[in-house]
Amino acid sequence: NAGVMQNPRHLVRRRGQEARLRCSPMKGHSHVYWYRQLPEEGLKFMVYLQKENIIDESGMPKERFSAEFPKEGPSILRIQQVVRGDSAAYFCASSPPGGAHMNTEAFFGQGTRLTVV
């Protein structure tokens, strides 16, 4: 059973370009969380999704950032018109049906390290 898969592991974008980060949850998991981590800082929650639904996006910037988790395929975090301040590690986590209500842990991917030059 493969773990949470994130790709690419490293992504370099020039200012103004778009970044698309992909996350395939563990098999059977229907809940996905996205977090951002800056050097020497903790994980900052961005968005919580179930299949075809955004449950909570309170941590996501209102502009340039969007996320989706379609019925088929991976979850995508999209950052439009990237700026240097978007450089960070972006982690995705998944949990089984019922999500955190089931008192279960979240399984994390290895992250995508975005560098904006």
Question: Which residues are registered as beta bridge partners of 87?
Answer: none
Q: Which is nearer to another protein, 14 or 39 (CB)?
A: 39
Minimum CB separation from another protein for residue 47, in Å?
A: 10
Tell me whether residue 76 or residue 106 sits nearer to another protein (CB atom).
Answer: 106
Q: Give the count of beta carbons closer than 10 Å to the beta carbon of residue 87.
A: 16
Interatomic CA distance for residues 101 and 63, integer angstroms: 30
In a 13 Å sphere around the CA of 104, the CA atoms on its Cβ side amount to: 15
Residues of this chain that bind another protein (CB under 8 A): 4, 33, 35, 40-45, 48, 56, 91, 93, 99-101, 103-111
Q: Between residues 33 and 65, which has the closer beta carbon with respect to another protein?
A: 33
